[in-house]
Amino acid sequence: MIQDDRPNPDALLSALTEQENKERKGQLRIFLGMAAGVGKTYAMLRAAHQKLREGVDVVVGVVETHGRSETVALTEGLPEIARRKVDYRGTILDEMDLDEILRRKPELVVVDELAHTNVSGSRHEKRYQDVLEILDAGIHVYTAFNVQHLESRKDAVEAITGISIRETVPDSILERASLVELVDIAPSELLKRLKEGKVYLGDKAERAAQNFFKEDKLTALREIALRMTAERVDQDLQKFVSVRSEKNLWQTNERLLVAISHSPYSEKLIRATRRLAYNLEAPWVALHVDTGITLNDADQSQLAKNLNLARELKAEVITTTEVDVPSAVKRVCRQKNVTQVVVGRPTRRWFRDIVERGNLLERLVQESLEVDVHIIRQEGAALARPGLIDELSYYRTRTGVTKYWYSLCIILGTALAGLFIEHYIGYRAVGFLFLLAVIGIGMFGSMGAVILCAFLSGFIWDYFFIPPKMTFAISNTEDFLMCTAYLVVALITGFLTNRIRFHEKVIREREERTNVLYEVLQDIANATEKSDFLSKVTARVGNLLNADCGVILRSPLGKLEFAEAREYSIQLNEKDQAVAQWSFENKKMAGWSTETLSQANALFLPLKGSAETVGVFIFQPKKKSRKLDPEKESLLFSIVRQLGVSIERHFLTKRLAENQRLKDSEELHQTLLNSVSHEMRTPLTAILGAASALENETLAANPKYVQEVASGLHEAGDRLNRVIENLLDMSRLNSGVLSLKLEWHDFNDLLGVVVKKLEKPLVNHKIKINFLDDVVLLKIDYRLMEHAISNIILNAAMYTPGGTEIKITQRKQDTNFVIEIADTGPGIPEDSLNKIFDKFYRVPGSPTGGTGLGLSIVKSIVELHKGSISVHNNRPHGACFTIELPLEAQPEVPEGENL
């Protein structure tokens, strides 16, 4: 049989995809350390200087020197992006300027303290999220963090140090990194650096020496960092091994493999391998090879039990389909870089060993596989020498008894045909007809049927056709050799034909399995809602495996949502609900076909993400009499794993969106509170001052003073009323409950009323209105439009110096009515023109006063009238707001009637 030493196609595709992503996105280099002070930032800056000398465009995004003189010296000569200033609760803090980095777009940016939490109000909550956005923009990043900040190591570090770790980064960051560089020094050397003041300064150094910086704790942290780096290196090596086509194994570290089957003695092999792996502190693989033999219910149940035992003992379980078991073992050994194989002591089976060129142990040893082989002794019945019936039972029917009957009918039919045509073609040519018949049987029958028909056809040919007939004796030596050769050729050709057919079946099943996984991934990628891909995936899996499938998700309270009926869920009774909840809480599969709560009607599989369990997958077979074969079970587990990760990602996205909404709401509330409180304080102060003045009897007796106070009260009340009207209108506009009361009005009249009401606020400005000669009627909500025009005019008055002119013009333009309000002030900065209508936006450097709501309300009111508003700067100075309202057909006004 030809050995397939080609690279694993799935691994090759994954490697190509990863390479494409690396070329398209930025590469991440992580400098990892066991604790502060080991020299991560120092090593990172030295690497950055090296890149700068090579001509790479390098900038420093953020570096925390902590006052260390060596680190400060290394920052010199590196271009730095100025940090942005953030006001947080009255304290000015420095943060990395992400927008400036993306605008500047260097080739490489240095970002220290990856686990840092950004100031509230930043685009991202964590700095590592900033780094991911930088990488997505195609910019390479150098970064650094300590081992305690990795999410998966957080609990272990807290147990060692007794210190709570608040800032962490997900493990996916390590997977994203193209290079992880461990910066390591001896704990004694680090303690020496601490005493010399090269780690922390002042009291902080003393506190660190008393708590965190103990030699035993640092040694434990160092071991964690070394192990984590070794795991990363091992993963990189596995990627290289999986795509290479060399036959030689690279024995870089110990990895064990045990070959298991449906035999009850496989349990002993699994336990022995677990003990060896534990003593060697090595990972191990449990391999099952499906050779195509049909298993009865007892064997299927024992196989499932063996595989579950291996999973419980933390093995990496692999199931594969292959006619030749040793070939499958060698292939997996190369892919997984296995160094030691554990097998049971094989019994001598002469017939099978002849057909298969030896047993598993002999093949592994003879074919020079570069692994160590451990032989585990077997006891009792396992060592009993099999009889002939046991030998032949290995080739028992895979295709059912019916195919055996078909095979016998073909041989008998060929014999009858030979009796009729022997006279014309000769008895020797009849042998070729039997050979064609055996080859044909190999195309659909099992190996047992091929062997049976090869011997049966040889006997029939000898007895009925080869002289002397009606006896098994052969008189001619040439005929004897011909008959013997026929039996050998018939067996070999039938065997090879059967094996080719089985390989074709294996390839077809692999293709179908790959297509299913691809379609599942496509369903997940194309779905916009969680319910969409869950419905499609459960339906697809159910059709493929002849079962009813469903998903029950976790509620925000951490329990399964049984009461909430979904199109992708299955109705369960109380008993099955209890099994599902147990599976969810214990993160183990349970129910049908398992040894845990096996009386349940379905199999329950926990949906595990990278960090949490998000629900349970329900697999309810329509025929519960037979368990899933290992290949289908492996496919089901792969789909469930992918679903768990996808659902977790959906939950995280939803959670991030909710957190962002809460942040936006909090910022909006704070902005509103700051703006309104400031705007209301001025008129309230005036009102309180007037009230206090009127309490003075002397002043109250002066009519002129009282009139001035009353005028001030009126002005303060108007200003307060405008603030309240703006808030109420904005609330109504946002809620959508504000409805327009549309009536016909002359815009000349509206402008006159607005200017009249604003006499006092506009006392220092010149107002020039271009009234139209013709009466133009617009269908508008008078109160809202008056409010909108007032806001624009007041905005112009606020931002222009006294004595300047505000000009209002009107004109008809095609089917629109255009109103322009222009001032002669300083204008609006170009970068603020597209933000001027945003809520609470105020031009930087503008005078105090105002809520930042006025122009936003104007825009909403104009758009409610199906109009538009824009702003541009006049030359040489000033700003001009342009409102365009739809001009409808003018109504007929009865003679003598005024509008």
Q: How far apart are CA 547 and CA 7, in angstroms?
A: 35
pLDDT, tens digit (0-9, with 9 covering 90-100), for 772-806: 777 788 888 888 888 888 888 888 888 788 888 88
Q: How far apart are CA 205 and CA 106, in angstroms?
A: 36
SS (H, E, C) 27-41: CEEEEEECCCCCCHH
For helices 215-243 and 325-336, the axis angle rounded to 10 degrees is: 130
Domain 530-614+629-659, second-level architecture? 2-Layer Sandwich (3.30)
Mark 532-547 as b/e (b = at least 16 C-beta within 10 Å): ebbbbbbebbbebbeb
Q: How far apart are CA 112 and CA 651, in angstroms?
A: 29
More confident residue, 94 or 773: 94
Among the listed residues 426, 299, 293, 433, the one whose alpha carbon sits nearest the alpha carbon of residue 356: 293
CATH of 10-243, one of 3.40.50.300, 1.25.40.10, 3.30.1490.190, 3.10.250.10: 3.40.50.300
- 421-437: average pLDDT: 85
pLDDT, tens digit (0-9, with 9 covering 90-100), for 47-74: 999 999 898 999 999 988 777 777 788 8
CB atoms within 10 A of CB 713: 17
Bridge partners of 87? 92
pLDDT of the residue at 381: 44
Structure-block tokens of residue 664: 């936006």
More confident residue, 541 or 499: 541
Residues 6+ apart with CB under 8 A from 10: 514
Helix, strand, or coil (residue 806): strand
The top-level CATH class assigned to 734-886 is: alpha beta
Residues 6+ apart with CB under 8 A from 353: 359, 362
- 332-341: average pLDDT: 84
Q: List the chain domain ranges.
A: 10-243, 256-393, 401-504, 530-614+629-659, 685-723, 734-886
More confident residue, 467 or 20: 467
Considering only 47-56, 293-302, 384-393, 877-886, which range has the smallest mean pLDDT? 384-393
pLDDT at 95 over 80: yes
Q: How far apart are CA 461 and CA 437, in angstroms?
A: 13
Among the listed residues 62, 119, 67, the one whose alpha carbon sits nearest the alpha carbon of residue 88: 119
CB 755 within 8 A of CB 769: yes
pLDDT, tens digit (0-9, with 9 covering 90-100), for 723-733: 676 666 666 65
Query: What is the spatial order of strands in the sheet that 590-591 belongs to?
Result: 547-553, 613-621, 603-608, 590-591
Q: DSSP alpha helices (H): ranges in 32-126? A: 40-53, 69-75, 98-104
Among the listed residues 87, 96, 97, the one whose alpha carbon sits nearest the alpha carbon of residue 120: 87
Q: How far apart are CA 305 and CA 750, in angstroms?
A: 86
| Residue 253 main-chain phi, psi, to 5 deg | -155, 165
Q: Which CA distances in Å does 716 have to 149, 683, 710, 793, 842? A: 56, 4, 10, 18, 22
Structure-block tokens of residue 239: 């990627």
Q: How far apart are CA 511 and CA 519, in angstroms?
A: 12
pLDDT of the residue at 439: 80
The CATH T-level fold of domain 256-393 is: Rossmann fold (3.40.50)
Largest CA distance in the chain: 154
193 alpha-carbon distance from chain centroid: 41
pLDDT, tens digit (0-9, with 9 covering 90-100), for 179-212: 888 888 888 888 887 777 777 766 666 676 666 7
pLDDT of the residue at 853: 66
pLDDT, tens digit (0-9, with 9 covering 90-100), for 233-289: 767 766 665 555 455 555 557 889 998 888 888 888 888 888 888 888 788 999 988
CB atoms within 10 A of CB 276: 18
Q: Which CA distances in Å does 582 have to 560, 590, 824? A: 10, 8, 74
CATH fold match for the domains 10-243 and 256-393 = yes
What is the torsion angle, in degrees rounded to the nearest 10, for the CA atoms of residue 204, residue 206, residue 212 and residue 218?
110
Cβ burial of 9 (10 Å; 0-12, 13-18, 19+) is exposed
Kindly write down the DSSP assignment for every residue of 732-782, as one continuous string.
Answer: HHHHT------EEEEHHHHHHHHHHHTTTTTTTSEEEEE--SS--EEEE-H
Structure-block tokens of residue 758: 């604003």
Percent of the chain with pLDDT strictly greater than 90: 4
CB 457 within 8 A of CB 414: yes
Per DSSP (E only), the strands in 567-724 are: 590-591, 603-608, 613-621
